[in-house]
Amino acid sequence: MTFPNHYKTLEITETATPSEIKRAYRRLAKRYHPDSNQTESGHEQIALINAAYEILGDPQQRSRYDSDRQDWQQTQAWGGQQNLPRSPAAHRRLAKSLSPAAAKRQSC
């Protein structure tokens, strides 16, 4: 399992300001939108861009994402062992940030 890097998706740094995030989102959405470019359009790519902006564009969700991402990186540093304490809320946030399909599996 890999943790999605929304910063990489939007081609920005982790220290990006809200205006930089918005600018990157608009640039990429325009580039990959099916109406703008028939050859480079990709439904998956635009879905990833939208998901990244949804999380990074909201200060509270971005803070949670950064925290969950840091927890995941620490887990990987320990050899991928899932023995770090996590709350059920953290698991739900992580599942939501991974993908819509993963979130549905977690809620069942």
Which token pair is 59?
A: 């200060």
12-69 residue pLDDT tens: 999 999 999 999 999 999 888 877 766 555 778 888 999 999 999 999 999 999 988 8
Between residues 22 and 86, the one the model is more confident about: 22
Nearest to 90 by CA among 64, 66, 70: 64
Between residues 69 and 10, the one the model is more confident about: 10
**Confidence check: pLDDT of 106 > 80:** no
Q: Can you give the pLDDT at residue 103?
A: 46
